[in-house]
Amino acid sequence: MSLEAFHAGLRADLQQMVADRLHADERPFPNEELVFAEWAMDHLEEVNICESPIICHWIGKIGNSSLRVSGYSLSSDATGLDLFVTSYFGSETITDLKDSDAVSTGAEGVRLLLTAAGGKLTSRIAPTHPIRELVETIVDRWPTLDRIRVFVLTDGRTKAKRFAPKEVRGKMISVEAMDIERLYRHLDGRPRDEIAVNLSAMLGRSLPCVYVPDAEADYDYVLVALPGVVLRELYVQYGTRLLEANVRTFLGSNKTTNKGIAQTLREEPEHFLAFNNGLVLVCDEAQFETSESGIGLSFMTGIQIVNGGQTTSSIYFTTREDRNVDLSHVMVPAKIIILKSDDEAARDTLISKVSKFANSQSAIKMSDLSANRPFHVQLEKLSEQTWCPDGATRWFYERAAGAYNVMLLKEGGTLAKRRKLQEMISTKRKLTKNDIAKYHEAWRGLPQQVGLAGEKNFKEFMDAIEEEPTIVPNPLSADWYRAMIAKVILFKAIQSLIKAQSVRKTFTQGWVNIATYVVSLVADRLGDTLDLQMIWQNQKISEEFAGLLLQWATLVNEKFADIGPRQQISEVAKREATWTKVKGAQFPSPDRTIPELCALPSERH
């Protein structure tokens, strides 16, 4: 598929999404720009450029200065903040966005950031406004933020993709254009292509290395000593995304190994190379330079650290906490695997195996290598084999990030074919790994855990499966799959009910959290009396059931207001005590008019 075809397909998708939302009477009032912004943010999360974006469209002015934001994302370690602003054309053909205009749009996001950090927005934003949480996040986290990026999301095409970072109030702020070309490359290639390092430019020289090419193998091999300053800069720029294939994230400076790393950095930096076990990296491409002293590594792209995440994180956090640590003499041994296969599945398998065996010196849970776990493989297979009752449509489980769009690219070569595919598998029926974790754990009665969102909830879900194998059957059955999709339909139905224009004055924020708590209540109070197979068969819930759920949602919303007055629902939802109080509250009882109920709860034996 060409860039032009991708653009046309995306525009058609956005128009369909707007039409679907209008039909469902959802708010905020949908228009293409807002829907595009939400689509782009979801996409960036899928390809691991950001973590769990929160949507909060807002445009305002302070004096003569314009401010705007479409959403934001705070990294899991709370040291990185991404802001998203939008420049949308909605044209039939690709429009060029001047770099100067992209920078101007990005500047509106930067001004919002700095205005909030200076405390000038807090009194201007209502406590329940969706942007209030962003403002409070900026104020609270400003002292510890090390990586701040402003993304200009656009369906236009820019010449430059990244602009010169600026230091403002002691913070380095970078502005990037996430334009139609960049979005297309993510879907047509590998998102990790975004992670690159030009060693020659960064250090003024290439790094001496041992290069072992192998024409018969699907990889080449390099041994090198990486300067500590390079690893720190990579972590500052890419954060935990640099470790996306690693089986562990930072375990904290109190761990024995990490204490030793920090101590060596402070007291014996020149011995770091001798004391440290080193890193294992994979990359998609490497370039070399030859000089009188031998061969040197000059450039890498598509980098992932698959072993050595604790070393890399410790270097970053130690230097952040102690500015006196000098990395100029720190060198880290590194083994680099250069991937050569054009088969993306084969590459991912090799990465997974390298990750598994490189980390075999310490205990690993198979849940850490999640995408290749039997649960996900079986779920993907069931989604491919199980058709909806109409025999013409099905749900799509995205075991690998971006798989849905790759499917559209490969099988939807023309606009007509793409539309046919989307009729069969609509975007509304696409489920990611994080989605399944959210819906499953809500039904399991853990709404406070689901409130952690994204990767945090997903990790808890995977750990639970590992520790308690009875949580899900093994192997997964078709009956389990249909019941799981029924729970998804239930969750989505509740969310749609509370986002309707008719109840906009009642539900002003926290729609996902309210839906999560209502699903947990349904599981707790109706449980085995609910006919999930009927919901699967109808692919929707009845009006009678919807009426009861709206009443419950209204009371949950009121309970949130009582528990945390003038607080963001997303924060209140994370507390253990919140679920205890909601669960103990009184809610209207169902009656026999609800067809999904096999029996009333009082009739259960």
Q: pLDDT tier at 340 (50, 70, 90 boundaries)?
A: confident
- CA angle at 543 for the pair 538 and 548, rounded to the nearest 5°: 120
For the record, the structure tokens of 377 come out as: 């493989």
Q: pLDDT tier at 369 (50, 70, 90 boundaries)?
A: very low
Q: pLDDT tier at 515 (50, 70, 90 boundaries)?
A: very high
* pLDDT tens-digit map of 200-245: 988 999 999 999 988 888 889 999 999 999 999 888 887 767 775 5
Q: Could you tell me the end-to-end alpha-carbon distance of the chain, in angstroms, rounded to an integer?
A: 58
- Taking the C-alpha atoms of residue 161 and residue 92, their distance in angstroms, rounded to an integer, is 22
pLDDT above 90 covers a percentage of the chain that reads: 31
Where is mean pLDDT largest: 120-129, 320-329, 517-526? Answer: 517-526
Give the other-Cβ count within 10 Å of 220's Cβ: 17
Q: Which amino acid is at 463?
A: D
More confident residue, 249 or 334: 334
Q: What's the gap between Cα 148 and its chain centre?
A: 17
pLDDT at site 371: 58
Q: Characterize the bridge pairing of strands 196-198 and 171-178.
A: unpaired
Q: Worst-scoring range by mean pLDDT, 203-217, 220-234, 557-571, 577-591?
A: 557-571
pLDDT at site 63: 80
CB 319 within 8 A of CB 232: yes
Q: Worst-scoring range by mean pLDDT, 22-36, 203-217, 287-301, 427-441?
A: 22-36
The number of C-alpha atoms within 13 Å of 380 and in the hemisphere containing its C-beta is 16
pLDDT at site 193: 60
pLDDT at site 248: 43
What residues contact 602, with CB distance under 8 A and at least 6 apart? 589
pLDDT at 412 over 80: no
pLDDT at site 602: 63
pLDDT at 365 over 70: no
Q: pLDDT tier at 344 (50, 70, 90 boundaries)?
A: low
Q: pLDDT tier at 366 (50, 70, 90 boundaries)?
A: very low
pLDDT at site 321: 78
pLDDT at site 357: 64
Query: In the predicted model, what is the mean pLDDT of residues 9-15?
Result: 84
More confident residue, 306 or 88: 88
Query: In the predicted model, what is the mean pLDDT of residues 539-557?
Result: 91
* pLDDT tens-digit map of 104-115: 999 999 999 999
pLDDT at 261 over 90: no
pLDDT at 347 over 90: no
DSSP class of 24: T
303: nearest Cα among 336, 274, 270:
336
Q: Is 76 helix (H, G, I), strand (E, B) or coil?
A: coil
Q: pLDDT tier at 364 (50, 70, 90 boundaries)?
A: very low
DSSP class of 137: H
Q: Worst-scoring range by mean pLDDT, 36-40, 130-134, 156-160, 437-441?
A: 130-134
Strand boundaries in 75-204, DSSP class E: 80-87, 147-154, 162-168, 171-178, 196-198
* DSSP3 helix / strand / coil % (the chain, rounded to 5): 50, 20, 30
pLDDT at 339 over 70: yes
Please report, to the nearest 10 degrees, the dihedral formed by the alpha carbons of residues 199, 200, 203, 208 taken in order: 80
490: nearest Cα among 533, 454, 446:
533
Q: Worst-scoring range by mean pLDDT, 197-206, 364-373, 548-557?
A: 364-373
Rg (CA), the chain: 25
- Taking the C-alpha atoms of residue 418 and residue 13, their distance in angstroms, rounded to an integer, is 10
Strand partners, 65: 62
For the chain, which residues make up each domain, given as ranges? Answer: 3-189, 192-363, 374-603
More confident residue, 532 or 18: 532
Strand boundaries in 284-361, DSSP class E: 285-291, 294-301, 304-307, 331-339
* pLDDT tens-digit map of 71-84: 999 887 778 899 99
pLDDT at 251 over 70: no
pLDDT at 28 over 80: no
